[in-house]
Structure 1
């Protein structure tokens, strides 16, 4: 079996605050191969973005404690120096942030910002870097790139700024691309264009992509594999088809139930998940989802509230839930029937 390009084992990211320790990520493991897209989905505060900031080494070491293992192409990142991480960021791994306008400098042209990234990692001249910036803007679909390269971010539309961010992220041909909800602020037409662009560029470069989102519709479009996070932990993993068609965790089922169905009756009401996400300062004991779980009462005794369920995987597929496979088939089938009848 080949070694995964990115391998994370028992990752824990804890922040020290005046109120106590925030367990933002609390024992997360997954692998990612080159050329595949992993969709990480969950509500705000589930640990999605914190996980990937840890991969990039963009946490504050003064109040952040990292434990576990992050291996990128065999190199351990948690113990890497800041100098080593600077060499990796933008070169071997890169990130597209959610808000392109906030991420781009308003005082420098688009071309200068893309070119600076290229120069930092390759030592290229300004002339060569400018030519590379024009090439990347053309590749991401910016019209008249030789002219727009000298524009400032405020002269680009939202969709064009996002394309420019993608051009900057890919200018050094990184092998790992992390996209943190890059289409959230865009209309659906531009969103679809950005998704198609990422898929085309992945096919061209063979990049491994982590796509962070709260939108399962986006996951259905772009991901190969899905990791569902809740309260800083992984509650379900599998291929896109497995997770979206046959969910194994009540939280995943709840996420699907809160989305409109395109192939079911139009008058079926949405079923929002009751309650609120847990406090990561003082998370619930046992299964962190049990205070909001519709099915917790089906488990004998107080198991859901007292014992943390293990993430049981078979060939990369599984969930962390105390319900038996037989209970899931019966209860989840009834839920799906109620949604479609």
Structure 2
């Protein structure tokens, strides 16, 4: 997902994250690879349980190694994160890489002021004094659009609105100018107006600092607004990837097509019925054999020999574009066009 002449800032190769539970092994991420360059935004999209958040918690080193088996490679600016010590990861978290969580109210401590929580992150990584940290917190609150930041810096999270709390979370994540920012569905609980403001804020800050961003969401509309590149996950695996324009204009995997067909269109006919994907996401304790999407796929019977149920399709990537599907390109063109046609008739 990066140009051939640009070294990726973040490189993930064949990542596997398996959890040990009383019921068995959960294969949360099962062979995931992608690259991300500075100044680019990678949108990771998929239903709940697809492995999106697990991937990014693994990048940050936030899993309990006693119950988690992690294989593969995660390299951030030349540093292998999977072999790094906990002390090294603590130096990187909040400094070189940072994360915005989905629920700001649950992520912020109710017992400390917003300014103190932002300032403590800054003090930990820079050794700044309390006054310097408070001044920095005021500066960051101003940068993310909080009115009267020199006053609101002493407020507690419950005194902020939902949108303001999310802005405060962004300020905390950006206080040390991280080079990698992971945003885990940061706008899900916000109304559309505030959501648009947060998205614009992230884009402005990225343009200012050249930050690499991973944006996790289940909403393709959000992806269309903020992402440069898109990675579609299902059942712990990547099923499709490409630029935003490639994936949204010409989906190559039935799951991506299903996600798009289950969303209303703002520029199409208003009477087009939505087509939700039948069934439920797979259990990662006992995932389906072959293609994990095949029990829900409208086109699995079109592949001869029942390969979808028995043989895992490979993700073949050419110039950053690829999909993991047994359908031939000719079959996809015909079947996907027919599928889209039935929605407009």
Tell me if the contact between 2:98 and 2:173 (Cα under 8 Å) persists in the aligned partners: yes
Matched, 1:286 2:290: yes
1:76 equivalent to 2:56? Answer no
Alpha-carbon distance between aligned partners in 1 of 2:128 and 2:272, rounded to the nearest angstrom: 58
Structure 1 CA distance for aligned equivalents of residues 118 and 211 of structure 2 = 19
Cα-to-partner distance string for 1:143-189 (whole Å, 9 max, x where unaligned): 00000000000000000000000000000000000000000000000
Q: CA-to-partner distance for each residue in 1:229-284, whole Å, 9 max, x for gaps?
A: 00000000000010011000000000000000112211111000011100100000
1:125-274 aligned at under 5 Å gives the runs: 125-274=129-278
Partner of 1:331: 335
Query: Normalization by structure 1: what TM-score?
Result: 0.99
Answer yes or no: is the 8 Å Cα contact 2:17–2:69 preserved in 1: yes
Structure 1 residues 103-142: aligned runs within 5 Å: 103-142=107-146
Could you tell me whether the CA contact under 8 Å between 1:285 and 1:305 is conserved in 2? yes
**Rounded Cα–Cα distance in structure 2 between residues aligned with 1:334 and 1:225:** 27
Give SS of 2:106's match: helix
User: Are the equivalent residues in 1 in contact too, given 2:44–2:217 (CA < 8 A)?
Assistant: yes
SS at match of 1:302: helix
Q: CA deviation at 1:335?
A: 1.7
Structure 1 segments unaligned to the other structure (5+ residues): none
Select the residue among 3, 6, 29 that pairs with 1:2. 6
- 3-state SS in 1 of match to 2:305: coil
Q: 1:264–1:340: 8 Å Cα contact kept in structure 2?
A: no
In the TM superposition, structure 1's runs of 4+ consecutive aligned residues that sit over 4 Å from their partners are none
Q: Paired residues, what number?
A: 341
Q: Contact (CA 8 Å) 1:264, 1:339: kept in 2 or not?
A: no
Do the aligned residues in 1 keep the contact of 2:36 with 2:212 (CA within 8 Å)?
A: yes
TM-score normalised to the size of structure 2?
0.98
2:56 aligned with 1:52: yes
Cα RMSD, aligned residues only: 0.6
Structure 2 unaligned regions, length at least 5? none
1:34 counterpart (29, 38, 53)? 38
The Cα shift of 1:340 comes to: 3.4
- Equivalence for 2:26: 22
CA distance, structure 2, for counterparts of residue 331 and residue 197 of structure 1: 40
